[in-house]
Every structure is written in C-alpha cells, then in structure tokens.
C-alpha cells in the first residue's frame, strides 16, 4: 500500500486496508475508540473485479478514503481503477476505470493519490518514459484527461500529500535527488519545483504536513541515515533508520506538545518508535522498540482513534493484523499489542 493504510473514518472508526494477490481488503472497528474492541471481518474493496498488487490510498478532510490500483486488461496489459470508501461500515464503491498514463500498455509504476480540500482525488503515476503523469477528479464529477508533468528517470514509488493549505504536492526520486511538483492554487496543475540534490535510497520517501506553510519529507540515504527536509531549507540528519523502507508518520499532541511520531519495522523485526517536537529536529530523537518480532515485509502504520489516542498497527505479509493503543497517561506509552 502506498499511503496511510490505517485511517480514521468520518464516523471515528478506524479502518485498515491491505493487498492480497488479486484484491484489496479492508476491515473496520465496530465501535470507535474502544481499546480491545471487536472488528468486522475483512471485506473486498471494489467488488469482484481482480486487481494487481501496488495499491495507493489517500484520505480526504471529509474522512473518505480513495483507493487506486492497477487491474489486468486484455492482451496482458493493465489500466488504473479507482474506488471510494465513504464510511468504514459500508462497502467501498466498485472499481471504476481511470485509464493509463500512456493510453494503454503494461503497468508502469505504483500509483500515489492525494485528496484536495474539495474532496477531489489526484492520482500520480510514473509513465512508460519514467516521467510522471497526473489525472484528477473534476469539480462536477468525472475525470480530467491524463497530463504529463515531465521528469526523467523517476523511480517507481511516488509520494503524494495534501498540505494543511489544501494544496496537493507529489515527490519522487531520480538520480539527481528528490523531484517535487506542487499546486500553487486550488484546482491548478502541479508545477515542478527545483530538485533537491541529495543521495536518496529509492522506496524510502514519506511526507507529513507539519505546518500551514510546510510539508516535511522524510527519506533515507543509501547508508541508512534518515533525513527530514522542508522545501526551501537543507535536509536535516535525524538518526539511522530503524530498518528498510519508508517511516510511518503522525503529527499529534503528546502531553500538550505538538509532536511528530515516526514508526518503522526495525532490523530486529520489532516496531521502533521515535518522537520529537514538530519541526524541532534539533531537539534530537531516538528509537524505542515495542511488540513482537515481525517477518520481513511487514508494514507499520500510525493514526489517532476517536478519543485522540495514538494507534499503531502492523500487518504481516500473510495478513496478520496487530494493534497497540496509547495508554491514558502522559507521553507515548503504548498498551500491549493485540492480534485481531
């Protein structure tokens, strides 16, 4: 899953999404914010239509989840499809086609999706020439034509995010460093910004809105050092990444302080957490591990429940879901992990 796969819905219930060989599944808690509460059984997103691995997900300010995936088509080709999940206890809508960045052909990369302040999904994907294309929902329904944002030698994994301003931006990696496209006003086509010359390990990007003016991008270099970067400044070295892949991120209140929480499956297999004052990287941070050892390929996510508690989730490649919820005490102390 590319994006936050643990989402608090409009009614406060948490929902998790995860891919299988030919589908995306979801399940939701039955009662919002109840530690140890029951969850509904898994259900299939988008009906019976099969999809390929590499799904993207984005959450709008309205709490709706937008999912995008590739589906197989005739002749061994693929095309992108979109589904909306309005409420956790309702079934997501059927998959609807949104096309291919090159009109037709094979899968070209993992999509990324962000939802603007008006609730419109913006879908980004690498094209056949290893640039970036965008397609987005129109104000009165339907989708625009695919548009080429350019770019060169872009790695497959993109990261799309909606800032606190409601404007959408997308990040990618290439041999020159980090590429960025951003909206300058609502409904506008994202424009390319100056690239960040940095050594970036592909597949390690994650982004988090950290103020009205800034989104913070997190990435690791090939040696495994984790960095934070805000456009207009220099990358800030944080600490060695706990493990491979991107970090999960969450901005929340901890004991009355605006904090950023990071989580990642560590080299030991457990989930590692770190927290620091938002945009205050100079305060320093360190990893603290929690929970059982997880197999390689397990994913980690962060969210807040209906009561404002931090919730961490882990999902193994074979679909075992575990949750740990913040205790009702100061700081980031988590209760024992629960397998669902």
Block mean pLDDT (10 aa), the chain, length 340 = 95 96 96 93 94 95 96 95 95 97 97 96 98 94 96 96 97 97 94 97 97 97 98 97 97 96 97 98 97 96 97 95 93 94
One domain for residues 280 and 252 = yes
Judge if 183 and 284 occupy the same domain: no
Q: In what helix (H) or strand (E) does residue 259 lie, and over which residues does it extend?
A: strand 257-265
Q: What is the CATH number of the domain that holds 74?
A: 2.120.10.10
Same domain assignment for residues 234 and 275: no
Whether residue 329 is contained in a domain is answered as yes
Based on the fold, state whether residues 169 and 205 are members of the same structural domain: yes
pLDDT of residue 161: 98
Domain check: are 193 and 289 in the same one?
no
Q: Do residues 203 and 108 share a domain? A: yes
Q: In Å, what is the CA distance from 317 to each residue of 295, 310, 314? A: 8, 23, 10
End-to-end C-alpha distance for the chain, whole angstroms: 19
pLDDT computed for residue 141 by the predictor:
87
Same domain, 260 and 224: no
Looking at residue 211, its pLDDT comes to 97
Of 209, 243, 277, the position where a domain reaches its end is: 243
Are 217 and 313 part of one and the same domain? Answer: no
Examine the fold and report which residue of 190, 208, 243 is the final residue of a domain before the chain moves on: 243
User: Is residue 167 in some structural domain?
Assistant: yes
Q: Which domain holds residue 329?
A: 244-340
Tokens linked to 34 = 């109840």
CA distance linking residue 41 with residue 171, whole number of Å? 35
pLDDT in the model for residue 80: 98
Does residue 139 share a domain with residue 238?
yes
> Hey, is 74 helix, strand or coil?
helix
Shared domain check, 151 and 117: yes
Number of domains in the chain: 2
Whole-structure pTM value: 0.97
- Which of 185, 220, 243 finishes a domain? 243
Is residue 237 domain-shared with residue 250, that is, in the same domain?
Answer: no
pLDDT at 331: 86
Q: What confidence score (pLDDT) does residue 139 get? A: 84
The answer as to whether 1 is a domain residue is no
Please give the Cα distance from 5 to 245 (Å, whole number): 15
Q: Do 89 and 74 share a domain, yes or no?
A: yes
Query: Measured between alpha carbons, how far is 151 from 174 in angstroms, rounded to an integer?
Result: 9
Of the candidates 59, 64, 58, the one whose C-alpha atom is nearest the C-alpha of residue 11 is 64
């Amino acid at each position: 899953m590319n994006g936050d796969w643990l989402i608090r819905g409009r009614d406060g219930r948490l929902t998790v999404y995860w891919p299988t060989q030919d589908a995306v599944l979801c399940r939701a808690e039955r009662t919002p914010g109840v530690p140890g509460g029951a969850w509904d059984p898994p259900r299939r997103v988008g009906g019976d239509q099969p999809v390929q691995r590499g799904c993207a997900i984005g959450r709008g300010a309205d709490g709706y989840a937008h999912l995008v995936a590739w589906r197989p088509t005739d002749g061994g080709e693929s095309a992108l499809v979109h589904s909306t999940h309005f409420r956790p206890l309702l079934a997501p809508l059927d998959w609807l086609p949104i096309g291919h960045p090159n009109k037709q052909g094979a899968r070209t990369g993992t999509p990324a999706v962000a939802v603007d302040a008006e609730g419109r999904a913006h879908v980004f994907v690498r094209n056949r020439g290893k640039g970036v294309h965008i397609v987005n929902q129109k104000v009165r329904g339907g989708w625009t034509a695919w548009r080429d944002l350019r770019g060169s030698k872009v790695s497959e994994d993109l990261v799309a995010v909606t800032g606190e301003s409601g404007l959408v931006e997308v990040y990618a990696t290439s041999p020159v460093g980090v590429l960025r496209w951003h909206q300058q006003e609502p409904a506008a086509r994202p424009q390319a910004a100056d690239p960040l010359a940095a050594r970036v390990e592909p597949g390690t990007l994650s982004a988090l809105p950290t103020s009205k003016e800034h989104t913070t991008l997190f990435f690791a270099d090939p040696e495994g050092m984790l960095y934070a970067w805000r456009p207009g400044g220099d990358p800030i070295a944080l600490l060695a990444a706990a493990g491979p892949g991107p970090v999960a991120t969450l901005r929340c209140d901890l004991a009355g302080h605006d904090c950023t929480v990071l989580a990642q499956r560590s080299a030991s297999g457990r989930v590692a957490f770190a927290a620091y004052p938002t945009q205050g990287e100079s305060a320093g941070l360190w990893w603290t591990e929690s929970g059982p050892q997880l197999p390689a390929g397990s994913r980690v996510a962060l969210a807040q429940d209906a009561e404002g508690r931090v919730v961490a989730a882990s999902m193994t490649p074979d679909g075992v879901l575990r949750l740990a919820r913040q205790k009702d005490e100061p700081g980031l102390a988590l209760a024992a992990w629960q397998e669902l």
